[in-house]
Every structure is written in C-alpha cells, then in structure tokens.
Structure 1
Amino acid sequence: MLPKLVIFDVDGLMLDTEARWQEAWQIKGEQYGIPDLGKKTFLKCVGRNGAEVEAIIYEDLKDYENPLEILKEVRAYGSQLLDERIDIKKGLVELLEFLKSQSISIAVATATIKTTTYERLSRLHLLDYFDYILCGDEVQLRKPHPEIYQKVIEHFHVLPQEAMVLEDSYVGVEAAYRAHIPCVMIPDLAMPQDKQKQETMAIVSSLLDVIDLLKDEMINNQEPTMLTYIKETPYQLEWNVYHIQEITQELVQLYLQNDYNSIWLIACGSSFNGAQCAKPFLMKYLHCDVKVISPMTFVYSEHQMTDKDFVVVISQSGRSTNCIQALKLLKDMKKQAVGLTGCIDSPLKEYGDRVIDYSMGIEKVGYVTKGITVLSQYLMLFALEVSLKKGLTNQKDYQAIIEELKAIPSRHQIMQKQTKDFYQKHQCEMTSMDISFLIGFMQSYGIALEGALKMAETIKMPCMAYEAEEFVHGFNLQLTPRYTVWCIDGCLKGSQRLIQIYQAINSVTPHVYAITNSPDIDDDHAIRIPFEMTEPLLMPLYILPVFQIIAYQVSEELQTWNTHPRFSQFKNYIQTKK
C-alpha cells in the first residue's frame, strides 16, 4: 500500500546545498590553515542547529584564535555560494511527478528558516509541488527531536505509519524514527552507520530509487527483500573503503604477528564463494598461496597445517554449525581459532579465540546479497593493508587501488541498471530457464559459484558453476538447445579463451550470455561493463549484483520462493545453523 503522505527534507535531500557548504568550509579552512575543516568538522555539523554547530567549532578549533569569527566567515561565504548556484538532486522532479500522479500528499519539513526555504524552492520552480511546508523557525525543537514531523502528520490528519519521510542526515533519520514514521535514507555526504540502518526502512542511492520502492510496495511494515540489500550494498562498500584501517586493523595485526606462507579461508555457501572471489586478489597483493576450503573437508581430512599457515573461519551469520566445528578442531589442535563474521553477537564468538566483524551491517534476508559482496571487499581491503605494511605494495600503487575501490559503489549501481535493462529485454528467456551453467576463470569463477548458488536456491532449478576450461572437458557433453550458459569474462588471462568457449557453446544453444566488453559477442547476448578497469580482480564487487538481481526478478515473477512440501522433513534430520 502506498503512503498517504511523503515528507521531504530540503538541504542535501532535494537540493545539493551540502556540497556547496562543504566547499565553503574547506576553502575558508585552508585560508586559516585548517586543512580538514570541510572534510571532517563540517560533516559533524550536518543537520545540527546553530548552538550545536558552535559547540563543535569550539571543540575542533580550540587551538585557533576566534573560532566563532571563522564560523561567521564560513557562513557568509557559504550563503554567497548558494546565492550563485543551487542544483537539485537527481530524480527529484521525477519523484515529485510520480507522487502527484498517485495523488499522494507532499510536504516539506526542514531545519532551514522559512524565508530561505521559500526563496530557494521558488527560484528552482519547485514550490508548487508541495501541499504544506514547515520550517525550522516555525517549531520549538529542532531535529533529532520529532516535533517537526509530528506537526506535519497532524496537519494532514494521518497516522505515522501512513506517512513516509525522506532524509539524508543522521539527525533527520533519528527525528523520523522518534516520530514512528517509516523513513528512507538517501545519504548525501554522511554514509549510513548501524544506527541509521536500524532506524530506516531502506537506504537507497537516489530519489529515483524511491520510485522503485513505492512501486514495489516496499513501505510501512513490509519485510525487506533481496533487492533491499542489493541497493544498500554500494553504501556499505563506500563506508568500508573510507574506514579501511579501522575495520581491518584487528585482522591485519594478527597476520603481521608471523611471517606466513599461506592463508586458509574456511567457509561454506556464499562465504565460500566470497572468499573464492577475493582469492586471486589476495594472492597477487600478499605474494602467498591462498586456500579456500569447506569446513567439513577441513574437519574430516585436510587440516595438515604448519605455523606458517594463517587460518580464518568465515561465517556470515555466525551460526553455521560446520564453521563452529572447524573452530573447535583448531582449538583441539592448539591452533589460533580466528573467526570472521557479519554478526558479531552470534554463537561463533563462543568458539573462537578472536572473532572479528567484517563490517557488513545488517542483512535479514536469508538469500545473501550484501554479505558476500562486502566479505569479498573486506578480504581485499585486508590484503591491501597488509601489502602496504609489509612493503609488498608501494604507496602510489596502494593509493591507485584505493581510488578504484572508491569508484566501486557507482559501478555497482551502474551494473544494477545494466542488469535490469538486460532482464527487461530478455524477460521471456530469463523466466524460461531450465538448467543453467555458469563458467569463468580466476575471480570470475568465484562469481560463477555464487551466481549458481543464488539462482539454484531462489529459482529452484539445477544450476552449476565450473572453471571454464574444466567445463569443456566433459561437462559440456550434455549441452542441448534447452540449456542456459553464462560466461563471465574476467578481463585478464583466459579472456580470449572464454570468448572461444562462448562461441562454441553458441553453436549448440542460443541461450548463452556473457558479461563482457568483447566486440566478438553481440549486444543481444551481452551484459556490458561500461567503464575502464585498472584492476580487474576487483570485478566481483560490481559483477555479483548481476546474478543477484536476475535471481530475485525471476523468483519474484515465478514465485519460486517456497520449497517443495516434502522439504519440511529435511530439517528434522540435519541442522545447519546453531
């Protein structure tokens, strides 16, 4: 059910004012010899009232003379910049038009004073879209107090659950939460943290995504879906890159305690696949062998380790019984039992000597999407930090990878769009898949493993992944025109061989597709990667959503979420979660 009322914040949400303010803070800071005034201090002030901003300034600029004079100059310069130009945020007009088309009431609740708010909205020809506007000088208490949102819903005589708030700031999200109004966060300068993830119904990349949320009826009390977390992933990836040292520090310190020759990553399911996606990157930047092994293979047979082997057990949920058994065995062998998890408050911490959070945030849907991508990234960030500290990578190359990692969130969003367009074009074929193979080399083999798992567990069809060359040495003999095959180009060694394999498969079945930029594959059978890659080993971070979205879209259309009735007996015999 659509909301009866949508309430918009202004600065940073509808209007790109925060970027102009940050520019003003940074420029004035540099004039006073304060290089981080715009990069750090300003971010603390976003969404705060005047008194709170002054308190922050006093604290951050306590070593400087006349901090309030600096603030006064910043405010004057920021106002000047905003008088010169204000841009509206992407998707704003489209969203407003959509809301009008659905006869949904539209309101503004902003901390900005009335005269400024009306002047800016009028200047940008937005004023007529809104049915009601409530400003900061018309309420007693500022966000994060819920007063402003409470007054708006009182004006429209709607219940909190019948409305929806759109916010970009921490204080705005908290205000909506305290007013008990469902809130969607569209982050501007400040990336969401665990608190915002708990206080919002969704976190999306732009106002255009809000239209998708409304169309998908992902509002009010409806449970999140795979798509919710696919859309959240870019923000977690971005946050993690900017906090690389903080989130990897514990694992990096453990690794640097010894001169290891190899790394063992013990994991199952999507965690196994995520480790496989990251494995080539780890091997390249750590100059060591990396072994990805399932927990029970480790427990039953392959546990002949030396002191030169660094062993990590990975469980996203922290509840996998086989991972717990692996940690128990490590302790029995008097080896260090290190666990890596996306849920630190889980049974895993009872069995590990050290259990580390890989900074995934929250994912409540069992069909893992955000978790595997963030795990792959975390392992790569860990490798990068160790590589720099051990002198295996110089500062220049390290920074180049960091810059490409910063571009990953936008690439993830681009590949979401590419996949949705591809799906619409091939909807009939996608919803008619019977048996599927996914093949690739190196990091693309990891993507193939996860793609096969995701489609098998959601669409409920036979779906298998193979290293590409292994596929053509026997498994290909069963091919018929009814089969679907996905070829994932790793854009490195083996790329040309993969294209040859694609062409061979195409001679048997028309249902063969590639994720590639090769001109040898026509557009009708390709999902293109429309950007330059400096380090193709980072590909899993933006190619994984391709199969996540296809799995979700097909499962949603065919309604294949439920298992066979007989499957209810399965858990009477085997428990996989503690």
Structure 2
Amino acid sequence: MYSKGGPNMKKWMYDCVLEAPENCRQILQNKDKLVSGLTDIYTSKNYTKIVIAASGSSFNIASCAKYAMEKYLGKKVEVIHSVTYEKYDYRFHEGALVICLSQGGRSTNTLAALDRAKQCGNDVAALVSEPGSPLEQACEHTFLYGSHEAGKDVFVCRGVPTSTLFLILFALEAGVKAGSCTKEQYKKAVSDLKKAVELMPAVREKADAFYEANKTELCSMERVMTVGIGPGLGVAQEGALKLEETVGLPSNFYETEEFLHGPVYEIKKPHSIFLVDIDRESHDRALQIFDAMRQLTDHVYLVSAQASGSRILTLDTDIDPVLLPLLAVIPFQVIASRICDDTRASGITIYTWRFMQKMATKAR
C-alpha cells in the first residue's frame, strides 16, 4: 500500500481517502440516528420535490446522490448552484423542500441561498460536516453528515463519499416511511451500500496500481477532460475539480453526449481524457467513445464498473449504478493526491490565496 510519509507528516488528501471507509461504516451503523431528523422533516409534508443548493464539492456530492435519491423518494431532486439559486433560479419551487449543502458550513453563496429560500416561504434544511458553523447558526433545521469526528478533511476527500452516503441513506429511510421505496428495495440498497463501503480499500489499491502503471503520463498531463452521464456525471465533476484545485491542471467535465458536440474538436495529442462508465444504460456508448478516442489522443482512460483492459480502472462490481459514485470518485482522489506528492505541484499559491481573500467566499 502506498504511504506518504512518517508520523510527523501533516494530514494530506491520501490520509482522508484512507479514513473514508471506516467513517462510512460508522455512518451506516448510526444511519437511523443520523438521518432521522431530515427524514422527519421530509415525511411531515407531501413535498413536490427536493431542491438542493450547493457549491463546489457539495454540488458534486448532490449530483452523485441525485439519481439514487430520485429512485428511492419517487420525487424530482433538482441540484442548483447556490448563487444561481439565490439570484436567478429561486422561483417555481412551490411546495419544495430546499436543502442547503456545505461541508464547512461557511459558503457565503450557500448562506445567501438559505436566506432566499426562507424569503420564498420554502421549508429549509441544512447539511454540514462541521458543528458550530455559520450555516448551522442560520438554519433552524441543520444536520451533521457524521464525518467530522475524523478531523480535518483535505479537499473533501473524505466528505464526498461520506456525504453522498448520507444523502442516499436519507432517501432510503424517507422513501420507506413515505411508501415510495419498498422494504425489498431498501434491504437490497443497504446491502449494496455495505458492499460498496467494504470495497473502498480495494478500489483505492487498484487506483494506486493504476497510477503506478501510468505514472509518467499522469504526472505529465497538460489538459484534462472528464466525461460522465447519469450517476457518473457527479463523479466527472468532482474528478475535474480535484485536478484543478490540487494539481492546478486545466480540467473540465462534460456530459457524455455533449462532449461529442463540440468539445472533442479541441482535443490534441497531449490531451488526457477520463471516461466514467458506471451506468448500464450508457455502458456500450462509453466503450465506443473509449475506443474511438484513440484517433485523437493516446491519453484516454476509463473508470468502469466491469470493463477491463489496458488503461481501464475496473471497479469489478455489480452494485446498483446509482450507488457507484461512492467508489468511482476514489481513483480521481488518489490520482490527484499522488501527482501532488510526486511532482510537488499545487494549485494553491500565494497568488491564489490572495485572490481568494479578496473574493471572500467563506464566512468567518
């Protein structure tokens, strides 16, 4: 197993990837207690839909959980960037439950979205990882994901799987109580979630092996494009974000078919393409794109539930695809962390720090 250093080394991304499985186990064991508050709110009324307002990795978390939530709740789950909700997309959500997501609970945009939802008369709940945050103080119904006990979470490497798990567990519990999820569906989903959590260390080890096998190429990447659809789109979003904010690589995510309608014309030989293939509905199309992409670049990789081969990281599982973001995000976390370790690259400089101080995106 890859290890980044001795006992005096400060916590880094890879440490949080190592911590995530046990944290997820604890969330599963305490699921009834953790999600009961949000479940009670949801089942107290017949909400028309759920609107999730979030930014950054929290937005990606909601995107990862969206299709599982819709499956078990039988209701539309709309994921909107916090500032877009607050300034533009706050109308036409009558009867919706608005959930504001923030890992640290300090996002100024999400705090503004919370205020807007209140002004619109919607019922509002907030989810955070850290107790005592400004968001918790501003929202009467604030709930903890259950991941803060493990300490500092570097670049949300622990928070993405744990928070995604929380949202899915909420949907399962609320779905059973509301009658939109059968007991058989519930048992199967919980069983699959337990399998996914137990597979997390193995996927991390596969990601390490994948990185070692492609290390020279991965450490030399100049431009990255991540591609996914359905439950894989949130994974592609988070993958691009991780490579941007940690390594400082130009990275963008695309929905699978939209990727073919313009963005592919940008691709040159040095480009690196990551395809997320976890959705059975689009599996054949993903493989078709993976094979054809070699006409444009040699640097094309596939994160797949079951496909195997050169440049393919195989999760090797038949778990329900709507639950697979828990596993599929791990390779991107590992790759970003290890590139930073091996090249000493960092997207955070004194200049980006000064810029963010002027932007004030976090409440104090």
Which range, TM-score by smaller chain?
over 0.9
Query: Is the Cα–Cα contact under 8 Å of residues 272 and 293 in structure 1 kept in the other structure?
Result: yes
CA distance in 2, matches of 1:565, 1:249: 43
- Contact 1:274-1:376 at 8 Å conserved across structures: yes
Contact 1:445 1:467 in 2 (8 A): yes
Structure 1: distance between partners of 2:106 and 2:243: 23
| CA displacement 1:474-518 (0-9 Å, x = unmatched) | 111111111000011023211111111212212111100101256
What aligned pairs does 1:393-542 form with structure 2 within 5 A after superposition? 393-516=181-304, 523-533=309-319, 535-542=320-327
Once the 2 structures are TM-superposed, how far is the Cα of residue 312 of structure 1 from its aligned partner? 0.4
TM-fit CA distance, 1:285:
1.2
Q: Is the 8 Å Cα contact of residues 419 and 527 (structure 1) preserved in structure 2?
A: yes
Q: 1:568 to 1:233 in 2, by over 3 A?
A: closer
Q: 1:324: which partner in 2?
A: 111
TM-score by length of 2: 0.95
Q: Which residue of 2 aligns with 1:192?
A: none
Aligned residues of 1:336 and 1:353 also touching (Cα < 8 A): no
Whole-angstrom CA distance in 1 between matches of 2:137 and 2:275? 41
- Aligned partner of residue 493 in structure 1, secondary structure: helix
- What are the superposed Cα offsets for residues 146-179 of structure 1, whole Å, 9 maximum, x if unpaired? xxxxxxxxxxxxxxxxxxxxxxxxxxxxxxxxxx
Counterpart pick for 2:127 among 334, 337, 340: 340
Do residues 380 (structure 1) and 168 (structure 2) align?
yes
- Structure 1 residue 321, shift from structure 2 partner: 0.9
Of structures 1 and 2, the larger Rg is shown by 1
The one-letter amino acid paired with 2:247 is I
For residue 574 of structure 1, report the CA deviation from its aligned partner.
Answer: 1.0
Three-state SS of the structure 2 residue aligned to 1:230 is helix
The aligned amino acid for 1:552 is S
8 Å contact kept, 2:247–2:347: no
Q: Structure 2: any 5+ residue segments left out of the alignment? A: none
- Residue 53 of structure 2 aligns to a residue whose secondary structure is strand
CA distance 1:405–1:571, shift in 2 (3 Å): closer
CA deviation string 1:283-313 (max 9, x = no partner): 1111111110011101111101444211100
Q: Say whether 1:545 aligns with 2:333.
A: no
Q: Give the aligned partner of residue 29 of structure 2.
A: 242
| 3-state SS of paired residue (2:52) | strand
1:292 aligns with 2:79: yes
What is residue 43 of structure 2 aligned with on the other side?
Answer: 256
Which of the residues 314, 329, 343 maps onto 1:558? 343
Alpha-carbon separation, structure 2, partners of 1:332 and 1:433? 46
Letter in 2 for 1:536: P
Per-residue CA shift, 1:18-55, capped at 9, x if unaligned?
Answer: xxxxxxxxxxxxxxxxxxxxxxxxxxxxxxxxxxxxxx
SS at match of 2:265: helix
Pair 323,477 (structure 1): closer, same or farther in 2 beyond 3 Å: same
* Equivalent AA in structure 1 for residue 248 of structure 2: K
After superposition, the Cα gap between the structure-2 partners of 1:501 and 1:412, relative to the gap in structure 1 and judged at 3 Å, is same
Contact in 2 for aligned 1:344/1:355 (Cα 8 Å): no
User: Is the CA contact (8 Å cut-off) linking 2:231 and 2:278 kept in structure 1?
Assistant: yes
- Count of matched residue positions in the alignment of Structure 1 and Structure 2: 362
Distance in 2 of aligned mates of 1:394 and 1:563: 47
- What amino acid is aligned across from residue 489 of structure 1 in structure 2? D
Instruction: Give 1:281's aligned residue.
Output: 68
| Aligned alpha-carbon RMSD (Å) | 1.6
Partner residue, 2:358: 573
How far apart are 1:332 and its partner, in Å? 2.8
8 Å Cα contact 1:218/1:224 also seen in 2: no
Partner residue of 2:99? 312
| 8 Å CA contact retained: 1:449, 1:465 | yes
Q: Name the amino acid aligned to 1:532.
A: D
SS in 1 for 2:281: coil
| TM-score (norm: length of structure 1) | 0.61
How much does 1:334 deviate?
3.5
Structure 1: how far apart are the matches of 2:47 and 2:123? 13
Whole-Å Cα distance in 2 between the matches of residues 366 and 518 of structure 1? 30
**Could you tell me how far apart the structure 2 residues matched to 1:569 and 1:550 are?**
27
Is the CA contact 1:459–1:551 (under 8 Å) kept in the aligned structure 2?
A: yes
Q: State the identity %.
A: 27
Counterpart amino acid of residue 311 in structure 1: V
